[in-house]
Chain A
């Protein structure tokens, strides 16, 4: 069992948890992910590692309630445990293996979208700890959904916050903010974008035009996370890759985003059905069109 030692609500529907998992905490690096399973009946959910404390043996995860399982996860409290918690999985971020002096010469910009801010954070923190500068653009739909602003402020060289509705910071999307920075004369040699697939796709379209190499962290459907099933397969540069072992980070200009986004939809109706069952419980008597109820 893997106890939850800290829980915090970061924003509406977004939660942070520190989970005790000493083996994972001992070896994990920024860019890697874990798979968590609530209990016997639970499914295996992949989540990027948001932070870690090797001494305390804890891993920080951040999740947004988007389906039945994350909905169920939000009700777990400090002192409760996950039945299963496995990792670290996937490859560490390329930054970790790059020579520090080389990194110091580079102008790096991160673009984080929504809950994608969580996996960006350990990378920015890692760079900061190694004396490397980087700019961070973080955005969300609206002010209430912004997370980790203070934490990011401490580790980013320049932080640009955006909201789609203009309720806080720059009014617009991360891509608009990047374009503005470029127009103002800034230059970047490397972009790292993490967020919803649609956001990563548009960042890549822009950075391709601007000639900025871009790394993205892909979040396809996964089951085992160790390379044994291929549920997470993607096409990258015309080749089939398994995100769980070959990634999750890839050259964003080579990823087939349209295919990846279609593949994310595979269980949409199943997910919707599970969600309805959870919310309505025994009072759910059909109407969703899939449950075989009497309506």
Chain B
């Protein structure tokens, strides 16, 4: 066995997967997982754990995999993480746990993410469920939002014996896991729905179709429905547009709309009623994970797809693995390119986009080289669809309807990093609602910290 390199993971062929919505990465089987687990050095002072925002006991679970005690491995992971099948798939491990792995100094890091995924998938296939609290403590807590932060916070509190209800505005729980991340990276029925069921199995109630700030407010939940503490995990779902001419034309979508239609509403499947525009030539503006997801979705719907990004490849904020997959599938990268206008035909439809070439200037105060326009380098692209993926910010609905909740100038809720406490007593917050758009695992870490904060607050009360 080659100890320096990871046991390779099986994937669908690029040419095949570019035409379907099935999961790209097929994951390890038992033999592969045991072999990969054998590469772990079982460090005493494990660096990998320091890279994990929820501090999973990584060496311990990997040793159990090595010894084929998969159920025990799942128990160890479950102590720290409510969504291992999700995190094993979507965490940027290269900059977290695997980024710190000692094996990575000379050779490749241990494939921690793929092992976590294997354990979670094995547990699901074998009907293993996380264990419910032995007795309830009689305290009621409300969780706003059923994304990764809310699910984690709710799961942790339920394990401590709290009576937890999650309120979700959409018709299905999961937040970005359901509407944002596509099927080919994170299967909805097989993985997300099952993880949500696991949280329910802990005793958590989920009420969908409740928009806090409209259907009811946080103050009412506490005054009228008897909730003693509230966790806000409402995310950052408000899309940004560029503000360039032509942006209201037919065929210009926010990535949120495009992905919601496809992922949540399943527009790619014939039997579902929600329509989606299947463009012939699509430009996705932006370079983050959401841009990659939108681009690879448009490709699977049959389009030629361009990523238009104003900086160079090195600055692409998307995960390396996603960029690599996108390229393999045939996405075209137009780097150092920035749109200046969307060209519209007489009927109001997109017919193209004027772009300008960029170059990277001198590093600014923050050390980042900002892109500068190259004068006179404008050119037109012919297109029928443009998807704007420029990032999102928190929806002001909750902050504007909750008295005494402090927000900063980016409309993010101000909350303590250690325990999630906000400026309002008994109200805690975490995830993208506090940080602005970030990652699934950071949101989970924040949900965890807030669960601890809520437990301390209600124990002292």
Interface residue ranges, A against B (CB under 8 Å)? 23-24, 26-27, 37, 41-44, 68-69, 72, 83-89, 223-224, 226-231, 233-235, 240, 245, 259, 262-263, 265-267, 270-271, 274
Residues of B within 8 A of A37 (CB): 171
Q: Quick one: given A84-B171, A84-B209, A223-B261, are A267 and B275 in contact (CB under 8 Å)?
A: yes
Q: Report how far A41 CA is from B247 CA in the complex, Å.
A: 30
Interface positions of B from 240 to 268, Cβ below 8 Å from A = 241, 243, 247-248, 250-251, 253-254, 256-257, 260-261, 265-266
CB distance from B392 to the nearest CB of A (A): 8
Q: Does B208 reach chain A (CB closer than 8 Å)?
A: yes
Q: Complex: how many Å from CA A84 to CA B208?
A: 8
What is the distance, in angstroms, from A268's C-beta to the closest C-beta of chain B?
Answer: 10
Q: Pick the residue among B170, B210, B250 that contacts A265 (CB under 8 A).
A: B250
Nearest B-chain residue to A274, judged by Cβ: B273
| B174 CB → nearest A CB, Å | 14
Inter-chain contacts of B241 with A (CB < 8 A): 230, 233, 240
> Contact between B250 and A228 (Cβ–Cβ < 8 Å)?
no
Main secondary structure of the interface of B (DSSP, over half): loop
* Among candidates A23, A84, A235, residue contacting B216 with C-beta atoms closer than 8 Å: A23
Known: A44-B265, A230-B239. A86 touches B254 (CB 8 A): no
Partner of B210, one of A23, A83, A270: A23
- Which of B241, B256, B276 counts the most A-chain CB atoms under 10 A from its CB? B256
Is A42's CB under 8 angstroms from B239's CB?
A: no
CB distance from A59 to the nearest CB of B (A): 12
Find out whether the CB atom of B215 lies under 8 angstroms from the CB atom of A227: no
- For B210, the chain A residues whose CB sits under 8 A away are 23, 86
> Within the assembled complex, what's the spacing in Å between the Cα atoms of A267 and B456?
52
| In the bound complex, CA of A274 to CA of B216 (Å) | 36
User: Could you say which of A69, A87, A223, A259 contacts B211, with CB atoms under 8 Å apart?
Assistant: A87
A97 to B333, CA, bound (A): 51
A-B Cβ contacts below 8 A, count: 113
| Interface size class, chain B | 35 or more
Cβ B254 vs Cβ A263 within 8 A = no
Contacts of B250 in A (CB 8 A): 262-263, 265-266
A105 to B211, CA, bound (A): 36
Instruction: Report the bound CA distance from A72 to B273 in whole Å.
Output: 10
How far, in angstroms, from A89 to B213 measured CA to CA in the complex?
Answer: 10
User: Can you report 18 residue pairs joining A to B where beta carbons are below 8 Å apart?
Assistant: A24-B215, A37-B171, A84-B209, A86-B169, A86-B211, A86-B215, A224-B169, A226-B211, A227-B237, A228-B392, A230-B241, A231-B257, A235-B248, A245-B397, A262-B250, A262-B348, A263-B348, A267-B275
A43 touches B273 (CB 8 A): yes
> A229: which of B169, B248, B254, B277 is its contact (CB, 8 Å)?
B254
Report chain B residues within 8 Å CB of A265.
250, 347-348
Q: Verify A228–B237 contact, CB threshold 8 A.
A: yes
- B214 CB-CB contact with A under 8 Å: yes
Shortest distance from the beta carbon of B335 to any chain A beta carbon, whole Å: 26
B residues within 8 A CB of A245?
Answer: 397
Kindly state the separation between the CA atoms of A278 and B446 in the bound complex, as whole angstroms: 47
Of the candidates B216, B253, B395, the one whose C-beta lies within 8 Å of that of A27 is B216
Q: Shortest distance in angstroms between B324's beta carbon and chain A's nearest beta carbon? A: 28
Q: Which residues of B contact A41 (CB under 8 A)?
A: 266, 271-273
Please tell me if the beta carbons of B275 and A228 are within 8 angstroms of each other in the complex: no
Assess the B272–A88 pair: CB atoms within 8 A.
no
At the interface, yes or no: B43 with Cβ under 8 Å from chain A? no
CB A274 to nearest CB in B, in angstroms, measures: 6
The yes or no answer to B67 lying at the interface (CB within 8 A) is no
| CB closest chain-A residue, reference B210 | A23
Taking the closest CB of chain A, its distance from the CB of B163, in whole angstroms, is 19
**A270 is contacted by which of B237, B238, B275 (Cβ under 8 Å)?**
B275
Q: Which of these, B243, B257, B274, contacts A230 with CB under 8 Å?
A: B257
**Residue from B214, B265, B392 with most neighbouring chain A CB atoms (10 Å):** B214
Q: In the bound complex, how far is the Cα of B256 from the Cα of A229, in angstroms?
A: 5
In the complex formed, the residue of B with least CB distance to A273 is B275
CA distance A263 to B248 in the complex (A): 8
Known contacts being A228-B239, A228-B260, A263-B250, is A87 close to B214, with CB within 8 Å? Answer: yes
